[in-house]
Amino acid sequence: MPRSEGEPAPTVTARNQAGEEVRLTFDEPTVLYFYPRDATPGCTTEARQFDRELETYRDAGVAVYGVSTDDVASHREFCDAEGLEFDLLADPDGDLVESFDVDRRGDAAARTTFVLADGEVQTVYERVDPDGHAREVLLDALEDGLVSLPEE
């Protein structure tokens, strides 16, 4: 069972699609979504939709990261093919999957999303339907007052 709301968020380090080391402490609002495999239909839908909503997430001060057990090269290829503008974190050894207690389907992570802020888990989504999920997470975070959009 994944980490629960109110639990501390672990500090994690992983490599992104460019091979750069990314260290996350989750002090600032962050969406960390785990997905099974790069370039599969559901994962592509989910990634495209997070990318489409990315400007609004950024306007609300929320960072977005995708995580799968695929390696850096796979993430690079997927990001290049889809034109993704957010980081995908490579977790080939399953360290992040384990840190967040995400269920596995074989050697892949089960589709699970965390909204994190102030060093703790704010919201958890399990058994996610990838179509519409990016918008759902954003709207929930705005509705729950976890983030807000700047006044125009």
Confirm whether 42 is domain-assigned: yes
- Does 79 qualify as catalytic in the annotation? no
Q: Is residue 3 part of a domain?
A: no
Structural domain contains residue 23: yes
Name the domain count of the chain.
1
The predicted pLDDT at position 81 comes to: 97
Domain extent at residue 68: 12-140
Residue 87 in any domain: the answer is yes
pLDDT of residue 152: 65
Q: Is the pLDDT of residue 7 over 90?
A: yes
**Do residues 112 and 126 make contact, with C-beta atoms less than 8 angstroms apart?**
yes
pLDDT at res. 75: 98
Is 152 inside a domain boundary? no
* pLDDT surpasses 90 at 145: no
- The whole-angstrom separation of Cα 116 and Cα 121 is 5
- Residue 145 in domain: no
Q: Rounded CA gap, 16 and 65, in Å?
A: 9
Asked if residue 89 belongs to a domain, the reply is yes
Cβ neighbour number for residue 7 with a 10 Å cutoff: 13
Over 90: is that where the pLDDT of 149 sits? no
Is 64 a domain residue?
Answer: yes
Please report the pLDDT score of residue 60 as a whole number.
Answer: 94
Does position 151 have pLDDT exceeding 80, yes or no? no
pLDDT tens-digit map of 19-77: 999 999 999 999 999 999 999 999 999 999 999 999 999 999 999 999 999 999 999 99
| Number of Cβ atoms within 10 Å of the Cβ of 106 | 6
Question: For residues 11 and 32, is the Cβ–Cβ distance under 8 A?
Answer: no
pLDDT in tens, 104-140: 989 999 999 999 999 999 999 999 999 999 999 999 9
Q: Of residues 9, 12, 24, 43, which has the active-site annotation? A: 43
CATH of the domain at 40: 3.40.30.10
Over range 98-107, report the average pLDDT: 94
